[in-house]
Structure 1
Amino acid sequence: MRGCLKDLPTYQWFIVLSQLVSRICHQNEEIVRIVKHIITSVLQEYPQQALWMMAAVTKSTVAARRDAAAEIIQAARKGSRHGNDNGGLFVQFAGLVDHLIKLCFHPGQAKARTINMSTEFSALKRMMPLGIILPIQQSLTVTLPSYDQSKLDSSLTFSTADHPTIAGIADEAEILSSLQRPKKVHSSCFFGSDGSHHPFLCKPKDDLRKDARMMEFTAMINHLLSKYPESRRRKLYIRTFAVIPLTEDCGMVEWVPNTRGLRHILQDIYITLGKFDRQRTNPSIKKIYDQYQGKMPDEELLKLKILPMFPPIFHRWFLTTFSEPAAWFRARVAYAHTTAVWSMVGHIVGLGDRHGENILFDSTTGDCVHVDFSCLFDKGLQLEKPELVPFRLTQNMIDGLGITGYEGVFLKVCEITLSVLRTHKETLMSVLETFIHDPLVEWTKSHKSSVTEVENPHAQRAINNIKARLEGVVVGVGAAPSLPLAVEGQVRRLIAEAISHKNLGKMYIWWMPWF
């Protein structure tokens, strides 16, 4: 590692910053010293980007992690390569993070739909404008050069050389209703120095380190997909967005524009067809479930009583949203591609809670965008009503794929994606293994005593499941086969489990397997 310190440019260390940060409490003192030195050099070279990525560890509930982060930031301030201005940046940043954490946990007035930022957060308003970059995807994403860039300005390794800074914040923050009450999610809007508005979700009571690692994982997958002719020709990719953990139980998520949830899209179409009533339909479905539960197999109940009430109609959204034939075709292909890629990636990492509000669709491209990764690493299998399907492939999701259903483009892209994932399993595991060294709060009952790294059984189990899936073993749905499957066999098996009425019939009622 000492040799690499001299030879590797700093941007290459920035790419693995989260892996380095997860090891700041390693048991070996010499390794800790080298890791701290590397992180310090990254902070000095890229203070704007690295500070956002370090925010959560500076507020860690583990004293050793918190103290190590404070030591690194202090060293970076002293040895800054960007002049004396950086001292002010570090102080500004610490103040901004404190205000944003308060905003995440602000309860809001009873029955109020907004928070008045001018009165409730006047100190935050007075801080504006700031010389801190907006934590948006384009500013935080490093671009790997395909040639020797050692002689060029290191700032060019980011997607744009001139990043918008925080010029102001809106006078009001909207309070959004959330399924996980009493959690209140706030939507705040930053004004950028580029003249644009940048909305963010402020989420309390949620360990967003999962979401942040998931975005790193998908960014790595996008890089791998771009290297293979089969996936590059089809322009396969996953839509990513910035996730900023501020502490171990709150953070900010960049708003994804032009998107709407699957449930709202389908509900609106069913209403226009007279198949759905906001007041009556859901209570009547609950009544049917209560009436026949235990008297009829779950599979029969779904197939005979519920599905006939909701004929598949998702294809209509493409017809109405993309009225020009060429645009309609592009959107349908984009939908098939992005849904297939997400299905495979979601299964590999054990992504659950794929109800109709966590799967969004872009009204300008047809892309499928997944949000909310709190139910990661097979957590869905531990719910009161376990989530038995490997990904969402309900009748409407199939309807959107066109005449060939899941047998056409969807199947082919699933095979290509899974093949790429399995080929690069070691690379992908390196991103996820951060959870072994810095486990989630929900995995650590007495995390305050975790001074040094101790192998966490929950983290190890999650990593082992992902490794098994990347080797062709179907884990988490039905009975796992005793031998690893080929890519084609694994995909076929997963699709069969996803469309199984037996599995869908056992899902939690408001996951809405009929949508």
Structure 2
Amino acid sequence: MLQLFRVLNKMFDKHKESRRRHLAIHTPIIIPVWSQLNQAVSGQLSPEAIVELRLQAYNEITKNIVNDNIFSQYMHKILPTGNYLWTFKKQFAIQVALSCFMSYMLQIGGRAPNKILFAKNTGKIFQTDFHPAYDPNGMIEFNELVPFRLTRNLQAFFSNFGVEGLIVSAMCSAAQSVVSPKQSQHIWHHLAMFFRDELLSWSWRRPLGIPSVPVAAGMINPSDFQQKVVNNVEHVISRIKSISPHCLAEEEENATEPPQSVQRGVTELVEAALSSRNLCMMDPTWHPWF
């Protein structure tokens, strides 16, 4: 494209009317980097060696280039001091916890910083392009090692007290309320309606080369479509129950091992989200060092 732009610029320069109007397409100088020269891309290294290389690069970036206080410094500069900062942190932590809960519940990935918006006066969060992805069989697909976005800069801003006290407890409360006996039937039906509309839309926007399955045209068996919806709903419900304190407490009653924290499901997810070995495997456009 840049070569084409430069050719057009030469044509503009040779023509009297375009030259008089200074018509020229901006063509910046771009140096391409060929990843084929890398041993990790060419297949000369084992998967374990590639992980170690990525972890080494990630550690170098986080130690020498991007520290864990960038977000904290920014927030302290733009927010008033005093009680307002404490109130903002509390509200923002709860919003982050709910976003993490929804990301884990529906297996929504691709949470790059440019897709997360928050209000500086209220701490409320809105996420763009926030919807699950599906595999060719119509099941939720998730290909990221981290369950949600909770990086080191956010951890430094909230401190360990904010992460363990506010975020973990808020996620546990959200999971417990959704799968409680009084709410379980409601969430099941609402998820069924959600996945019905999602799969109907997904069937029409499938990539090229994969045949579409429009239900309205009668090209798919209604029972198969219903089974896809049910499978997705059951999968989501099981994920919520796996971190719900109520369900974990019931398991403890029948277990012979020593009792553990009922928040361990969410705590393990937070540890996975903050793990350097998991973060280093994320795509660079995800900006895991932030």
- Shorter-chain TM-score tier: 0.5 to 0.7
In the TM superposition, 1:289-438 aligns within 5 A as 294=45, 295-298=49-52, 300-308=55-63, 309-312=65-68, 313-376=70-133, 382=141, 386-402=143-159, 404-423=161-180, 424-435=183-194, 437-438=196-197
Cα distance in structure 2, aligned partners of 1:471 and 1:327 = 35
* Letter of the structure 2 residue corresponding to residue 426 of structure 1: Q
Q: Which amino acid aligns with 1:343?
A: C
Partner Cα separation in structure 2 for residue 291 and residue 329 of structure 1: 48
> Among residues 451, 454, 460, which one is paired with 2:223 in the alignment?
454
CA RMSD of aligned residues (A): 3.7
1:300 CA drift (Å):
2.2
Cα deviation 1:428-461 (Å, max 9, x = unaligned): 2211101554433324622132588333254343
Task: Give how far 1:320 is off.
Answer: 1.5
Query: Which residue type is aligned with residue 470 of structure 1?
Result: I
1:514 aligns with 2:281: no
2:8 aligned partner? none
Q: Counterparts of 1:109-508 in structure 2 under 5 Å?
A: 294=45, 295-298=49-52, 300-308=55-63, 309-312=65-68, 313-376=70-133, 382=141, 386-402=143-159, 404-423=161-180, 424-435=183-194, 437-438=196-197, 439-443=199-203, 445-447=212-214, 448-450=217-219, 453-456=222-225, 458-472=228-242, 487-508=262-283
1:338–1:368 Cα contact (<8 Å) kept: yes
1:157-204 CA deviation, whole Å, 9 max, x = no partner?
Answer: xxxxxxxxxxxxxxxxxxxxxxxxxxxxxxxxxxxxxxxxxxxxxxxx
Query: 3-state DSSP class of the match of 1:514?
Result: coil
Which structure is higher in helix share? 2
SS in 1 for 2:88: helix
Q: Which amino acid counterpart does residue 213 of structure 2 have in structure 1?
A: S
SS at match of 2:114: coil
User: Which amino acid in structure 1 is aligned with residue 66 of structure 2?
Assistant: F
Provide closer, same or farther for how the CA distance between residues 488 and 462 of structure 1 changes in structure 2, counting only shifts above 3 A.
same
Cα distance in 2 for residues equivalent to 1:380 and 1:350: 11
Identity %: 21
Match of 2:4 in 1: none
Distance 2:148 2:120 in 1: 22
Shift of 1:391: 0.7
Q: CA contact under 8 A between 1:401 and 1:410: conserved in structure 2?
A: no
Q: Counterpart of 2:238 in structure 1: which amino acid?
A: A
Deviation at 1:332, TM superposition (A): 1.0
The letter of the residue matching 1:340 is: A
CA distance in 1, matches of 2:96, 2:139: 20
- Which consecutive residues of structure 1, in runs of 5 or more, have no partner in the other structure? 1-278, 475-482
CA distance in 2, matches of 1:303, 1:464: 37
The unaligned stretches of length 5 or more in structure 2 are: 1-28, 205-211, 245-253
CA deviations on 1:62-103 (whole Å, 9 max, x unpaired) are xxxxxxxxxxxxxxxxxxxxxxxxxxxxxxxxxxxxxxxxxx
**8 Å CA contact 2:195, 2:232 repeated in 1:** no
Q: Is the 8 A contact 2:94 2:167 kept in 1?
A: yes
Whether the 8 Å CA contact 1:443–1:459 is kept in 2: the answer is no
CA distance in 2, matches of 1:452, 1:413: 41
Give the number of the structure with larger relative contact order, counting CA–CA contacts within 8 Å between residues 6 or more apart.
Answer: 2
Contact map agreement 2:169 2:263 (CA 8 A) in 1: no
Would you say the 8 A contact 2:134–2:141 is kept in 1? Answer: no
Letter in 1 for 2:223: V
| 1:127-171 deviation per Cα after TM superposition (whole angstroms, max 9, x unaligned) | xxxxxxxxxxxxxxxxxxxxxxxxxxxxxxxxxxxxxxxxxxxxx
How many residue pairs are counted as aligned between the two chains? Answer: 223
The structure with more strand, counted as a fraction of residues? 1
CA separation of 1:323/1:403 partners in 2, compared to 1, >3 Å: closer, same or farther?
farther
Q: Which amino acid aligns with 2:67?
A: P
CA–CA distance in structure 2, aligned partners of residues 490 and 396 of structure 1: 23
Tell me the CA shift for residue 403 of structure 1.
Answer: 5.4
Q: Return the offset for 1:464.
A: 2.3
> What's the CA shift string for 1:398-431, capped at 9, x where partnerless?
1221353522322222222222122133212211
**Contact map agreement 2:149 2:273 (CA 8 A) in 1:** yes
The 8 Å contact of residues 356 and 511 in structure 1, kept in 2 or not, is answered as yes
